[in-house]
Structure 1
Amino acid sequence: MAAPEQPHRSVEGLTIPALLRENARRHPDRPALTTGIGPDDGTLTWFQLRSEVAALTRGLAAVGLRRGERMLIAMSRRAEHWVADLAAVHLGALPCSTHDTLSAERIRHVVRHSAPTVLVLEGEEQTRSWGPVLDDLPDLRAVVVLDWNAATEGDKRFVSYQAVRGSGPLDTATFEALTDEITTDQPLSVVYTVGTTGEPERVVLTHRNVIHESFTQARLLALPKHPRTVAHLSPAHIAERMLGVYLPVCAAGHVTICRDPAKLPATLLHVRPHAFFGVPGVWEKLAAALRARLGEESGEARELALETYRLRSATGSVPANLSERLTRLDEQDLRPLRAAIGLDHCRGASSGAAPVPTAVLETLASVGLPVHEGWDLGETTGAATAGTQGGSRGT
């Protein structure tokens, strides 16, 4: 495995709050976070996102969240999830997004291990799942609930998200001081695995970890300025945290949240992301959509793209004449095919968690969309090694 190269920008002195501030100042009107597509979508600019974070930071401090403490977040993919996470970070606390599929036993394990002082829940489904463990948490000070109708009546620990948010933003000097207090090697978040083969494993990520990973990925994939990404997995998934939370902050990108898996194809067509991570099942569906559109015909460009892919997979290199021919044919013949699934701008298509069937990989490669299968863990802040256009590279 090749040794990682240094990212194009030094990580020293950088933190997620400092980069969020930089984005709000340098790109106040650029979109940062969009929920949904079409006329009913909602978008926060970088200035608006930081303002929301400032407002919730004050509220979380008011309900008792302190530096070094843990805060669990049990919410679906929605803007408030992102805001809550980043607000806790500004206080020097460790937010942890939890998987939606955790069993009662796994939930109990996570809460006992993390000993959170604040729990953020979305609605009835979350209060039903997490309610039985609340009395196991002697240090729990507050349960922040987005849907107040789901709050447990009579439990004084419950407080509405709107009330916490409505306490108003921190004064500028205090919020800037909090931003400046965070250091590069300070813990940023705790990630728990699903725990399908045993107890959930836990990993502490630092600002250095995620910023280095983000800068390196952006360079290896040759991402443009302000890259577009789509968040469609649980924010507890390390790949989603990197592409959906940290990379956008580090690159002043624009992430669109896809809340409904059934709307992912339409979301890709609308967003046309520059980088996209999908589990094998997602790539199988996209390949099936391509096959339905293309039928049995291949054509010169597709045959050449597949030949190039197979050569690169087998030998790590491709003759210059083949690469040049493919480059000439790609824009005219292959890019429109990638556009049919919304990935014509994609610089980095990747997968993990399980192998992608070879037939699926070859269907996608035949339209100029090689999917790079990565080996990744929370312990490696996502990718550790993955196939690239030029062979395997460590990140």
Structure 2
Amino acid sequence: MPTHVVHLLEGQAARTPDHPALSWLEGDSLRNLTWGQYRHQVWAVASRLLEMGVRCGETVAILAPNIVEHYVADLAAVLCGGATVSLYPTLVDEQLAYILADAKPAVVITTDETTADRLRRVLPDGSNAHLVCVQQTGEGAGAGAPYVSWAEVLADGAASLEANRAELSRRLTDSGDNTATYVYTSGTTGTPKGVTLTHANLLFEMEAFDRMGFFIGGYRVISYLPLAHIAERLWSLYFPLRTGGNVLLCPDQGQLLTYLKIQRPSYFMGVPRVWEKLRDAAETILSTEPYASRSAEVATDRDVLVRAWARSQDGSLGSVDRVRALKAREGILYDLRRELGLEWTVNPNSGAAALPQDLRDFWRSIGVDLTQAYGLSETTGVAVWERIGGARRGSAGFAVPGCEIAIADDGEILVRGPGVTPGYRNMDPEKSGLMVGDWLATGDVGHLDEAGRLYVTDRKKELIVNGSGKNISPTAIEEKIAGRGFINQAVAIGDGRPYITGLMTVKEPDLISFARERGIEDAVPDLLSHPLVLQEAQRVVDQANERLSRPEQIKRFRLVPDQWSVDSGDLTPTSKLRRRAIIGRYSAIIDGLYAESKDTAR
């Protein structure tokens, strides 16, 4: 039995050395790295990392898009006995500095000298981390750690591999309890926490999906989400080690539709925001020929699929319905799925954030049986998976094999099993609040039906999960705005939404003073929409956004004429925001913020 993820790489390289493992576009040409070449590069880079001083238990940080070098470096680091930390490209310097100080990497790998210079500035004082640049050809100048080119790392590692092979082989036999990766995720205070995932955690997740029949047939996927995201790490880095198959690397999400048509994946996972964008593409295609002139046929076939789904929910789906649904799927709607590159996708899934029902209904109406999943970085990504053919409206599915789900007395979802993290990096497990006995406390609220399906109904914790599945701390946003200038209180909104918006109250005396200094005599309610007032509020928001990553930045806001207090029901007795109450109170305004175009006034 394998106890190390690189054991799986060894097996794949031995079985299918000449099959393409990783593929990418160079201009109009498709390039491949075979499983045999993949293995060779991992060992060569591991040899060089060993010489750079990567010891067992140390970390290697990677700030790079979805490129071959990212994959090779990741597995090379764990072959050395180290652990990887993939960094989100949207992180601002303050966030990068915090994570690097916590992770203390021995080596940092990035794409170019500009990014390397940025990383050097934010590395903690006294760091001796080596910097490796994929696109750098010589040694960097100046104080601090030198730059080393990826080409040098690969060449020098290959030259020293035989001398280091015995030590690397020894490290490959280490226990599965060793850490393989740290996945940094936002906490409720905005401070990132490094979720520890061991080799045993990852191997369990692969085994669970194998037991569900997930790896039957060819495995073709596209890598396009950041590799800092546990879902992307599973689908495109770890799962192929178990099943073989091929990963097409898409370093630019804006080109996803092109890559879908090239790869025609057997499995495709997208956060809800991705499925929304693909729906827009599908609707555009439906407005063109031949679909426009055959709109009645399209509508009829879609209706057949919708009715078949509805009848599957109440148990009235008969054999005639099944035949009609099969015929509808394989008619003109098959052509539509082919134009999207999804005609061979047998496992389309949405995860990382709640999937709007209307979005799911659209995909079912064109023959894409979109399933859901539930999990956290702390559960190695997936704890609950919706089986194809067993879906129920509103359900996230059943616990994956080997995992248990329970509901606490207060409704909180609890998880237990080999996929649960042993804890956070540099944090006392007893003080983290992560575990309740031997159960992981998820911070989410839900219930189980009689069959054991999980329904996630609410979030006990305050963390925002946006439409792209990104965890965002509202507190970290609000504290950069509240109390600035004439702004009094602020609340950030964005759960399940494509971007962050904000509501703000004002300090009336300060607002009046601001207005009078500019010769504005309007009453306070009218001042809230005055162009100069909005301009000043925008300045405060812009200053906050400079300290926030792109997903965290407030795109639109509204000044409201109220003051949130304990008496109004908007604050707790300890003056904490009652977010649900505020969001419910201003639901119409919030919906308007998301309905407005970018060009409308705030």
Q: One-letter code of the match for 1:394? A: A
8 Å CA contact retained: 1:301, 1:329: yes
Residue type at the aligned position of 1:63: M
Q: How does 1:348-387 map to 2 (within 5 A)?
A: 348-387=347-386
The Cα shift of 1:374 comes to: 2.3
How many residue pairs match? The answer is 382
Task: Give CA deviations for 1:73-92 in whole Å, capped at 9, x if unaligned.
Answer: 11111100111111011011
1: distance between equivalents of 2:125 and 2:322? 60
Structure 2 matches for 1:330-349, cutoff 5 A? 330-349=329-348
- 1:155 aligns with one of 140, 143, 149: 143
TM-fit CA distance, 1:366: 1.0
Structure with the higher fraction of residues in helix conformation: 1
Q: Which stretches in structure 2 are left out of the alignment for 5+ residues? A: 288-294, 392-396, 401-602
Alpha-carbon shift at residue 318 of structure 1 (Å): 4.1
Structure 2 Cα separation of the partners of residues 56 and 275 of structure 1: 30
Deviation per CA, 1:111-162, whole angstroms, max 9, x where unpaired? Answer: 111111211122144224322222x153534122223269751336222222
Q: Per-residue CA shift, 1:23-44, capped at 9, x if unaligned?
A: 1111001110112377333210
Q: Structure 2 matches for 1:164-203, cutoff 5 A?
A: 164-169=153-158, 170-171=161-162, 173-174=165-166, 177-178=169-170, 180-193=172-185, 198-203=190-195
Equivalent residue in structure 2 for 1:254, among 246, 257, 260: 246
In structure 1, C-alpha distance between the alignment counterparts of 2:315 and 2:94, rounded to whole Å: 46
Specify which of 87, 95, 111 is matched with residue 122 of structure 1: 111
Match of 2:93 among 93, 101, 104: 104
Q: CA deviation at 1:359?
A: 3.0
8 Å Cα contact 1:123/1:150 also seen in 2: no
Question: Taking structure 1 as the reference length, what is the TM-score of the superposition?
Answer: 0.88
C-alpha distance in structure 2 between counterparts of 1:37 and 1:153, whole Å: 30
Is contact 2:79–2:172 with CA below 8 Å preserved after alignment? no
Q: 1:258 to 1:331 in 2, by over 3 A?
A: same
> CA-to-partner distance for each residue in 1:155-212, whole Å, 9 max, x for gaps?
3622222222111421295277246413333221111125686111221112222222
CA contact (8 A) 1:19 1:249 kept: yes
Q: 1:330 to 1:214 in 2, by over 3 A?
A: same
Match of 2:302 in 1: 302
Q: 1:394 aligns with which of 362, 381, 399?
A: 399
Taking the aligned partners of 1:366 and 1:227, their CA distance within structure 2 comes to 25
| Aligned equivalent of 2:226 | 234
Question: Hey, what's the Cα distance between the residues in 2 that align with 1:287 and 1:37?
Answer: 28
Letter in 2 for 1:42: R
* Local SS of the residue matching 2:156: coil
Structure of larger gyration radius: 2
Instruction: Say if 2:4 and 2:173, in contact at 8 Å, map to a contact too.
Output: no
**Deviation sequence 1:289-329 (CA, Å, 0-9, x none):** 222223454344322211233344x5488445423432344
- Mapped partners of 1:36, 1:308: distance in 2: 40
1:358 offset after TM fit, Å? 3.0
CA distance in 1 between counterparts of 2:104 and 2:72 reads 21
User: Relative to structure 1, is the Cα distance of residues 182 and 363 closer, same or farther in structure 2, using a 3 angstrom cutoff?
Assistant: same
Within-5 A mapping of 1:240-319: 240-295=232-287, 297=296, 298-312=298-312, 314-315=313-314, 318-319=317-318
- Segments of structure 1 that go 5 or more residues without pairing to the other structure are 1-11
* Equivalent position amino acid for 2:95 in 1: R
Q: Residues 270 and 342 of structure 1 are in contact (CA less than 8 Å); yes or no, is this contact kept in structure 2?
A: yes
CA distance in 1, matches of 2:315, 2:98: 45
Contact 1:338–1:344 (8 Å) recurs in 2: yes
**In the alignment, is residue 208 of structure 1 matched against residue 213 of structure 2?**
no
- The whole-number CA distance in structure 1 between the counterparts of 2:215 and 2:337 is 17
State the secondary structure of the residue aligned to 2:105.
coil
Answer with 254-263 or 228-237: which moved more: 254-263
Query: In the alignment, what sits opposite 1:64?
Result: 53
Aligned pairs (5 A) from 1:69-80? 69-80=58-69
Measure the CA separation in 1 of the matches of 2:194 and 2:314. Answer: 38
SS in 1 for 2:340: coil
Report sequence identity in percent: 31
Aligned-partner Cα distance in 2 for 1:97–1:150: 24
TM-score (norm 2): 0.59
Residue number in structure 1 paired with 2:565: none
Cα pair 1:63 1:141 within 8 Å, conserved: no
Is this contact kept in 2: 1:33–1:79, CA < 8 A?
yes
TM superposition shift of 1:54 = 1.1
